[in-house]
Chain A
Amino acid sequence: MNRQKKKSTNGFRWERKHLLGIAELSTEELALLLDQAENFREVMDRPIPKVPALRGKTIVNLFCEPSTRTRTSFELAAKRLSADTLSIATSSSSFIKGESLKDTARNIEAMQIDMLIIRHSTPGAPKFLSECIKASVVNAGDGSHEHPTQALLDVFTIRRKLKKIVGLNVSIVGDIAHSRVAKSNIFALKKLGAEVTVCGPKTMMPSGIESLGVKVTYDLKEALKGADAVNVLRIQAERQNQTFFPGIREYARMFGITKEKLNKYAKKEILLLHPGPINRGVELSQDAADGEFSVILDQVTNGVAVRMAVLFLLSGIK
């Protein structure tokens, strides 16, 4: 890979140092990221799925919240680019000894790293770090704020399958209020010209969501009707000590997606996405999760390519 590749066909150049969210990206930046991911997706199918692009760069995964998929995906993406990687999980870190996030990050940086990928339970933590350290910061999910690489891989997966984003109808179903995935998806899809509908219990619909240009419905039928893709969010068990809905049974009945509902209300070729991990039988039934509509495992594969693109582009400016 050479620097030329960082330029898109229309001559647009990547200049951003951190990836903190989708909200701040331009349409050109999004397009360039997706095109770059396409190149890497192709690399992944080669007999030796590895390029030397980031040889000598050091990338640290700082995960202050549990994650398997995202952390593994970033780590693999970095390795496929020949970077040196290191993962730190909260349980083994110094946080329990009372060190602040700022001090932890500055200490890691003092070991001369190039990039820090952070997953944190509090919104704005990646932005805070980007102001504390000189290395590039990648947001791997911050509280209910954003999860930019998840949105990129979702959009990438839809674009690969349906060959476009402009004009598509995409529905997002579930706990919209606490979902960084929903937020980043809304920003990305709207910027790329899709129509977005959000659906879930009213108790899980954040105030002012309409101002982001989405349609709101509390009726799953409405969300499925005419949708080209539906992104189903995980219902987080840890929130159930607070009352957002009466119970799992009613949630599954009203908002859970089953093969039967898809057959009844949705287009025949609808795509079914889920950021994982799935609560089978809650937001997705077994037959829907593993059925012909599901692109859930494609999302995981594409996630590596998308994250390769992110790491590669961000490394460009120092």
Chain B
Amino acid sequence: MKILIKNGKVIDPAQKIFKQMDILVDNGKIEKVEKNISARSVEIIDAEGKLVTPGFIDMHTHLREPGDENKETVESGLRAAIKGGFTTVCAMPNTKPACDNAQQARYLFERAREIGTASVLPIGAMTKDRKGKEMSEMGDLKDAGVLAVSDDGDSVQDALLMRRVLEYASMLDLLAISHCEDKSLSEGGVMNEGKWSTVLGLLPIPGASESIIVDRDIRLSEIAGARIHIAHVSTRESVEIIRRAKKKGIHVTCEATPHHMTLTDESLGSYDTNLKVNPPLRSDDDVAAIKKGLKDGTIDVIATDHAPHLISEKEKEFDYAPFGMIGLETALALAAEALVEGGHLDWPGLIEKLTSNPAGILKISSGTLAPGSVADITVIDPEKEWVYEENKIVSLSRNSPFKMRKMKAMVTDVIAGGKIVLRDGELVEK
């Protein structure tokens, strides 16, 4: 099937393109990107007034399969991804059992192929069962097609083991993704330490529990010669440590989530458990530092940390509710509000952090509209105003604090692997 996207403003950060052009897709690939393409017997998507970008890549998604299929499955997670403009998601390994072996990684690749829409890149666990005790079989994981390893959610506490993981991963050219948290400092904590944890009486998680491990892991990756990617950076101190490391030439990259650039710990006054995330929502000052880091390039990637949980788990006392919020369907609008409307980035600057930057870090060929590339394309209406309504959520879970929020900028059409999977904001079913 041929698809012609007409009259849109094309943004392809990888090629530094930002202008009005048409895109012709044929046989799953991008055929050409030119002005005024005309072709016969093609499906036409009129993108007048819209932005046409590479399909987004989420470096941080929790798909919950296997183990918690009542929260999310590969299928439902990919539907949510597409709705949000993502054509590739990195599936974090904290499933039950953990994705610490080749078979499980292969299962995820296979599920994604069967579903046949967006791609899944399984992230392997760094240590067996994510226990932080012994290295996982990273060679096997690599052979199964895994590109990155992480013990996401459970930061490896032992510095020596972490050093060895980094050395071993770098031997295999695997990216190491680190959720940075010194558990001896954060244990029992449920929100950011500061005035608001004091007012609300909630046990605090100090910013230092993150930045200490950010610092440690960057230093260890320097010794190991590894590529390290710091997950969901949330504090000013972490941003500053990463900025200094980059200046020094250390191979470190990092990501920030839309919620860490839009919400602060003050919002927890509602005790809304959907605001309970790890790392926690931080202070105004931290949010300002995240935005600055995104603007000056210290923060490379915007990732969702999409973390589905059941209503029954979230409808609990704050201390007892699990950490996490869903984010695939709201990522673009929230990031655009915080960064484009907020004057920190222009559209190409924002799209870069959703496409070419994650592609470069993961060393994958997608994330660009260059002719010959896989046709993963996202069409955005940047002016479209909409409301995030609960009954329109396609994720199996509903745990978002953004419900009923007025949004601007909407993903209207998505092409994944050359197939139209979202049309005028509606999922195209098989």
Contacts and interface: CB of A to CB of B under 8 A. Distances in A.
Interface of A: 23, 100-102, 120-125, 127-128, 132, 142-146, 177, 180, 183, 206-209, 211-212
Contacts of B195: 207-208, 211-212
A122 B198 contact: no
Contacts of A100: 312, 315-316
B197 interface: yes
B320 interface: yes
Interface of B: 193-204, 206, 270-271, 312, 315-320
Contacts of B203: 144
Contact of B200 (A120, A132, A145, A207): A145
A122 B201 CA distance: 9
Contacts of B315: 100, 102, 132
A120 B315 CA distance: 16
Contacts of B271: 123-124, 127-128
Given A142-B201, A183-B199, A212-B199, A207 B194 contact: yes
A128 B202 CA distance: 14
A124 B318 contact: yes
B6 to A, nearest CB: 49
Contact of A122 (B270, B312, B318): B318
Given A100-B316, A123-B200, A207-B195, 15 more contacts: A101-B316, A122-B317, A122-B319, A127-B270, A127-B271, A128-B271, A132-B315, A142-B201, A143-B201, A145-B201, A145-B202, A206-B198, A207-B193, A207-B194, A208-B194
Given A123-B202, A124-B202, A207 B197 contact: yes
B165 to A, nearest CB: 30
A128 B201 contact: no
A121 B317 CA distance: 9
A212 B201 CA distance: 13
A149 to B, nearest CB: 16
A23 to B, nearest CB: 7
Given A127-B271, A128-B271, A209 B200 contact: no
A291 to B, nearest CB: 32
Q: Which of B194, B202, B271, B319 has the most CB of A within 10 A?
A: B271
Contact of A207 (B204, B270, B320): B204
A42 to B, nearest CB: 34
Nearest to A127: B271
B17 to A, nearest CB: 48
24 contacts: A101-B316, A101-B317, A122-B320, A123-B202, A124-B200, A124-B202, A124-B317, A125-B317, A128-B271, A142-B201, A143-B319, A144-B202, A206-B197, A206-B204, A207-B198, A207-B204, A207-B206, A208-B194, A208-B197, A209-B198, A211-B195, A211-B198, A212-B195, A212-B198
Contacts of B198: 177, 183, 206-209, 211-212
A101 B197 CA distance: 23
Contacts of B196: 208
B365 to A, nearest CB: 47
Contacts of B201: 123, 142-146, 180, 183
Contacts of B270: 127
A145 B199 CA distance: 7
B47 to A, nearest CB: 43
A208 B201 CA distance: 12
Contacts of A180: 201
Contacts of A102: 315-316
A-B pairs, top 7 by smallest CB distance, nearest first, are: A145-B201, A208-B195, A124-B271, A144-B201, A123-B201, A122-B317, A206-B198
B319 A123 contact: yes
A100 to B, nearest CB: 6
